[in-house]
Homo-oligomer: A and B are copies of this chain.
Amino acid sequence: MNSFDKLIADARETAALAQIAGRLGWDQETMMPRGAARQRGAEMAAMESVLHARRSAPQVGEWLETAKAPDAAGRAQLREIRRAYARATRVPADLAKRIAQVTSEAQGKWAAARAAEDVAAFLPVLQEVVVLKREEGAALAAGGDLYDAMLQDYEPGTTAEQIGALFDAMRPRLVNLRAAVLDRPMPAGVSGSFDEATQMRLSQELATTFGYDLSRGRVDKAVHPFSSGSGDDVRITTRTSATDPFNCLYSTIHEVGHAAYEQGIDPAYALTPLGQGVSMGVHESQSRIYENQIGRGRAFTGWLYGRMRDLFGDFGISDADAFFAAVNRVQNGYIRTEADEVQYNLHIMLRFDLERALMAGDLQVSDLEAAWNDRFAADFGYAVDRPSNGCLQDVHWSVGLFGYFPTYALGNVYAGCLFQALREAVPDLDARLAQGDTSSATTWLRENVQRHGGLILPRDLIRQASGVEPSEQPLLAYLDDKFGALYGL
């Protein structure tokens, strides 16, 4: 075998082990006995240590020096192996270990501080995390921009400048749209109690409706909805609330978007570095277009309204138009994860600007809460009432996830570009969605996005699939149209 073939054989084994580590994570959230937590920690640490040793093996570095890729896919494989190798070798082992320890401790302190509404109890350990992550970022950047280096873990090939330009263009338009919408009367919501077993059955039906292959996946309940795994074993979770069926149903559709991406990748890439979604942003573009552009669109909600009436009887919504308005209600709120399409990206931009400033050293941890609250008041027009509704609401920073937040909004932007192209490619899209037939949409997404796996870098992929340079314009036009019509703007 030549060095390229050796690298691929080695990477296949590493990819298989990474799948196992992912499945352990799924098990932990769904099946693990509660008394097994400490032991599971040791098992995960052993697995991470194996993965790190493989990714940083000197032999991989030697093979990379002489490996010649036979084709474009091979070059992309090398690109991914090289990135993983650089990531694993640039960060000193001591620093990686220290980050693992401190973030583990910080996550506990964050949860306690959030419960106690006590920002001061969290800041010292957050300070430690920030110092360590900046050190890690500097090691990864190797002279380049620290935050850009961090972004590569989540959004390879994308810079903070590119993201910042998108966000800066979006922000004033979203602030205005939000204010205009909230100035109008709020549509009615659903009322009554919704049998949770029936929600789960409808969940499975929706998963299949959106093309999720249950012979290569499964749906379970968990505290937080997520999708896990690649290729032939991609599992999702959802949750139920007796009074809010949309939580379960739209969580499921969202996770099916992630799962369909992983299930839709060319099987030739299975258990290789290309055998998974290329970035968090592109991943989120799939989950969001399934959930929002398709799942919350007027055509599909018409079908869903009928199914829900069949299963739940009367739930206080008189017709499909009122149902469409109910699933797209825009309301004041502090919490990112509960935000609607109009406001969600504003939550992200706030975090992006703050974490970028923290990493650049332009914002001190001690000033974080004030900066958060100022920015929130500026964009949302009212004050944060308590830390759990403000800078303590998300787990991300406590566990060292800097550079992750912007991918959520990037996903929305990409979903906007893709949906514009999808509409052009499938002229009768609405007629099909109105029948509960998503196949033309999901097939188009599989062909144009999902099947490529890690082959094409995010911005190139979106440009190729949508035919336009990635831009905030399609998303903003879509939001203006949809919410303009819904709220009579």
Interface, chain A (partner B; CB < 8 A): 12-13, 16-17, 19-20, 23-24, 27, 31-36, 38-40, 42-43, 45-47, 49-50, 213-218, 231-233, 235, 270-271
User: What are the residues of chain B within 8 A of A233 when measuring CB–CB?
Assistant: 32-33, 35-36, 39-40
Min Cβ gap A24→B in Å is 6
In the bound complex, do residue A19 and residue B39 qualify as a contact, i.e. CB atoms below 8 Å apart? yes
User: What distance in Å separates the Cβ of A202 from its nearest Cβ neighbour in chain B?
Assistant: 20
Q: Is the CB of A38 within 8 A of B218?
A: no
**How many chain copies?**
2
12 residue pairs A–B, Cβ–Cβ below 8 Å: A12-B42, A16-B45, A16-B46, A16-B47, A17-B47, A20-B46, A33-B218, A33-B232, A33-B235, A35-B213, A35-B215, A39-B232
Distance in angstroms from A20 CB to nearest chain B CB is 5
Given contacts A31-B218, A35-B216, 19 further A-B contacts (CB under 8 A): A12-B42, A17-B43, A17-B50, A19-B39, A19-B43, A20-B20, A20-B43, A20-B46, A31-B31, A33-B215, A33-B216, A33-B218, A33-B232, A35-B232, A35-B233, A39-B271, A40-B233, A42-B271, A50-B50
In the assembled complex, the Cα of A250 lies from the Cα of B142 at a distance in Å of: 63
For A218, the closest partner residue in chain B by CB is: B33
Q: A235 to B27, alpha carbons, bound, how many Å?
A: 13
Q: Which of A13, A32, A43 gathers the greatest number of chain B CB atoms within 10 Å?
A: A43
Which chain B residue shows the least CB distance to A54? B50
Given A17-B50, A33-B233, A39-B218 contact (CB < 8 Å): no
A217 to B12, CA, bound (A): 33
Complex formed: what's the CA distance from A271 to B43 in Å? Answer: 9
Q: List, in ascending order, chain B residues with CB within 8 A of A40's CB.
A: 233
**Contact with A46, one of B17, B33, B270 (Cβ below 8 angstroms):** B17
8 Å CB contact of A24 from B23, B31, B45, B232:
B23
Taking a contact as CB atoms under 8 Å apart, the answer to whether B16 and A215 are in contact is no
A33 with B270: CB separation less than 8 A = no
Contacts of A216 in B (CB 8 A): 33, 35-36
- A270 to B39: give the CA distance in the assembly, Å: 8
Rounded to whole angstroms, the CA-CA distance of A468 and B76 in the bound complex is 67
Complex CA–CA separation, A215 to B24 (angstroms): 18
A215 CB, min distance to chain B CBs, angstroms: 4
| Closest B residue to A39 using CB positions | B232
Chain B residue contacts of A232, Cβ below 8 A: 33, 35-36, 38-39
A13 and B45 alpha carbons, distance in the complex (Å) = 9
Nearest-Cβ distance from residue A340 to partner chain B, whole angstroms: 33
Most buried by B among A27, A45, A214: A27
Q: A36-B233, A232-B36 are in contact. Are A43 and B16 (CB under 8 A)?
A: yes
Q: Separation in Å of the A272 CB from the closest CB of chain B?
A: 11
Give bound CA distance, A46 to B43, whole Å: 16
Residues in B neighbouring A218, C-beta threshold 8 A: 31, 33
Please name all residues of chain B whose beta carbon is closer than 8 Å to the beta carbon of A215 when the two chains form the complex.
Answer: 33-35
A31: chain B residues within 8 A (beta carbon): 31, 218
Question: Smallest distance from the beta carbon of A105 to chain B beta carbons, Å?
Answer: 21
A440 → chain B closest CB, angstroms: 24
Pair A20/B47 contact, Cβ less than 8 Å? yes
- Report A444 CB to chain B, min CB distance, Å: 24
- What is the chain B residue whose CB lies nearest that of A215? B35
CA distance A235 to B46 in the complex (A): 21
Separation of A46 and B13 alpha carbons in the complex (Å): 5
Q: How distant is the Cα of A33 from the Cα of B231 in the complex, in angstroms?
A: 12
A44 to chain B, nearest CB (A): 9
User: CA A19 – CA B13 in complex, angstroms?
Assistant: 19
